[in-house]
């Protein structure tokens, strides 16, 4: 009798397990993910990308995928996103790949590079030229997946307290500038540093730094840098700044295939939407800045300064490629793709714009 009852009990357990594992039960399960972002609460454009992604994922999954977003104000570690997602403290992150160059040097190439590809060229490289595969080869070693997370387009060269007329003016210049561009300026005698977004205005106002680059009018107007720095330089260092969505690989693999696809589509759509929003907001905000703050002086770095920057950039790239086979693999891929894509850019967008100039 005991054995019969045990057999019946085991059969009941097996039947229950079968029901729970059925497609219907799995379809009804809700997956809750936590995302940490580098940006402060309600930060425009960048923060909009995460909110849009989460909203799309929840809607397309009919509520089965819910993503909670914690800003830097809550988790208190703007530049700790990589470690928090890697450790499993958070399931996802939204940040910029070049922030991790101190931990994993080869991550910096997936944001943007000085004198590199434009946003359309870089998106072509990511999705059709092997960029995604290389990015996840780097991040895979750390139990992470990385996806494009939104592009700012060409960024401005920064706000400066003093005009840059020669290479001498870069000597000892304390500037907030991350990524590879910071290494370029350091090679030319400047003192680059990285500061969390919420601390930038105060650092510039108190002269802790002499200059900073942030994004462009889309975000710079709100930050108020034009009130304390008169010189606004055009860009050279970040022609296609791509943010990133980070996902813990273990978390990703636990998601059903349909939710993985929904999340993938949500991230890709939110990234593209951020690119268009950033472009629109820059156009709108630049019109406002020109009208309300006519004393802003837009400058372009002197030709000899640009030439020195390019030379330093080329030398540093050669050093990185010689030191690390993976770096060489990434840089060779980017260079080859840019050569091909730029030939088309030259006879399409560049030729069109040149035809309109006086």
Q: Which structural domain, as residue segments, surrounds residue 318? A: 155-237+295-323
- Number of C-beta neighbours around residue 99 at 10 A: 21
Rounded average pLDDT over 176-187: 95
- Would you say residue 23 has pLDDT above 80? no
DSSP letter assigned to residue 302: -
Indicate if 141 and 264 belong to the same structural domain: yes
- How high is the pLDDT of residue 196? 85
Q: For the segment 318-345, what is each residue's pLDDT rounded down to a tens digit?
A: 999 999 999 999 999 999 999 999 999 9
- Would you say residue 22 has pLDDT above 90? no
Dihedral sign computed on CA atoms, order 242, 245, 250, 252: negative
Of 109, 84, 111, nearest to 96 by C-alpha is 111
Indicate if 258 and 350 belong to the same structural domain: yes
Indicate if 225 and 174 belong to the same structural domain: yes
Tally the domains of the chain: 2
Rounded average pLDDT over 233-256: 98
Rounded average pLDDT over 93-100: 97
Indicate if 161 and 196 belong to the same structural domain: yes
**In which band, very low, low, confident or very high, does the pLDDT at 27 lie, cut at 50, 70 and 90?**
low
- Would you say residue 96 has pLDDT above 90? yes
Tell me, yes or no, whether 13 lies in a domain: no
Indicate if 77 and 181 belong to the same structural domain: no
- How high is the pLDDT of residue 324? 98
**Tell me, what CATH number does 208's domain have?**
3.40.190.10
- How high is the pLDDT of residue 11? 47
- Percent residues over pLDDT 70 in the chain: 92
- How high is the pLDDT of residue 197? 83
- How high is the pLDDT of residue 198? 84
- Would you say residue 306 has pLDDT above 70? yes
Q: How far apart are CA 137 and CA 292, in angstroms?
A: 47
């Amino acid at each position: 009798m005991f054995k019969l009852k045990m057999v019946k009990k085991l059969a009941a357990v097996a039947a229950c397990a079968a029901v729970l594992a059925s497609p219907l039960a799995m379809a009804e399960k809700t997956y809750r993910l936590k995302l940490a972002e580098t940006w402060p609460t309600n930060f425009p454009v960048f923060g909009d990308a995460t909110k849009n992604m989460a909203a799309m994922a929840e809607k397309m999954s009919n509520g089965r995928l819910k993503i909670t977003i914690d800003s830097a104000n809550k988790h208190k570690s703007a530049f700790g996103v990589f470690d928090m997602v890697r450790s499993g403290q958070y399931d996802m992150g939204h940040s910029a790949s070049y922030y991790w160059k101190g931990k994993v040097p080869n991550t910096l190439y997936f944001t943007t590079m000085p004198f590199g590809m434009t946003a359309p060229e870089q998106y072509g490289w990511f999705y059709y030229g092997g960029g995604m595969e290389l990015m996840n080869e780097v991040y895979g070693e750390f139990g992470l997946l990385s996806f494009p997370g939104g592009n700012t387009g060409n960024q401005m060269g920064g706000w400066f307290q003093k005009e840059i007329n020669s290479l001498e003016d870069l000597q000892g210049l304390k500037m907030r500038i991350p990524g590879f561009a910071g290494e370029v300026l350091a090679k030319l005698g400047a003192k680059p540093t990285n500061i969390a977004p919420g601390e930038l205005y105060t650092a510039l106002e108190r002269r802790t730094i002499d200059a900073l680059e942030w994004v462009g009018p889309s975000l710079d107007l709100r930050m108020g840098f034009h009130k304390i720095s008169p010189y606004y330089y055009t860009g050279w260092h970040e022609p296609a700044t791509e943010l990133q969505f980070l996902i813990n690989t273990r978390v990703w693999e636990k998601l059903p295939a349909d939710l993985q696809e929904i999340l993938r589509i949500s991230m890709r759509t939110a990234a593209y939407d951020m690119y268009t929003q950033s472009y629109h907001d820059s156009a709108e905000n630049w019109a406002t800045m020109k009208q309300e703050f006519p004393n802003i002086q837009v400058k372009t770095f002197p030709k000899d300064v640009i030439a020195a920057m390019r030379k330093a950039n080329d030398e540093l790239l050669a050093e990185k490629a010689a030191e690390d086979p993976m770096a060489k693999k990434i840089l060779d891929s980017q260079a080859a793709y840019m050569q091909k894509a730029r030939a088309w850019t030259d006879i399409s967008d560049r030729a069109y714009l040149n035809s309109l100039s006086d």
